Amino acid sequence: MARAGRVAQLPDLALARAPFARGGRLAAGWPRRLPVGHKGPRRMKIDSLDHLVLAVEDIDVSASFYSEMLGMDAITLDGGRKALSFGVRKINLHRCGRELEPKAHRPTPGSADLCFLTSVPLADVLAHLAKCGVAAIEGPVLRMGATGPILSVYFRDPDMNLIEVSNPVHA
């Protein structure tokens, strides 16, 4: 049993796999050690995703693509910023090199891999892609989504982000 005040060193394996690790060291601001027998408040638990940010080369081109291809609503936020609204979520669009602070460490167009659920049959999705001149990369293929199996089609947006549009598979 550990005595109060002693500090446990995180194992090297945990450091190497930590998403905030760089070169075997934790990024600035993250604790290297946790007190042995730490009985602080219950750990944080995330309930949902509110929004995400895409770094893009051309905001107008991206807004048009997501609006026309995926039926999202292009909206203007305070200060003229652009976003895409769908369901109860949104995607904020930031022009690469002109991001708001704070921002991702390396905001890069083409680095996202996003999966969207739709009730539109994938045959109709594929027909829409073809009509708009967007090449499907793969699909329909069976994948495992966050809540169960999904049938997916893959293609790329104007910044070369990988876009996956899926139908839930109901047993």
Residues recognised as catalytic: 164
* Runs of H (alpha helix) within the chain: 12-17, 59-70, 122-131
Q: What is the Cα–Cα distance from 59 to 80, expressed in whole angstroms?
A: 11
Peptide bond before residue 140 is cis, with ω within 30 degrees of 0: yes
Conformation bin of residue 79: beta by default, left when phi > 0, alpha when psi is -120 to 50: left
Strands of the chain (E only): list them.
7-9, 21-22, 25-26, 33-35, 51-56, 73-76, 82-86, 89-95, 113-117, 138-144, 149-156, 162-168
Q: What is the Cα–Cα distance from 138 to 156, expressed in whole angstroms?
A: 11
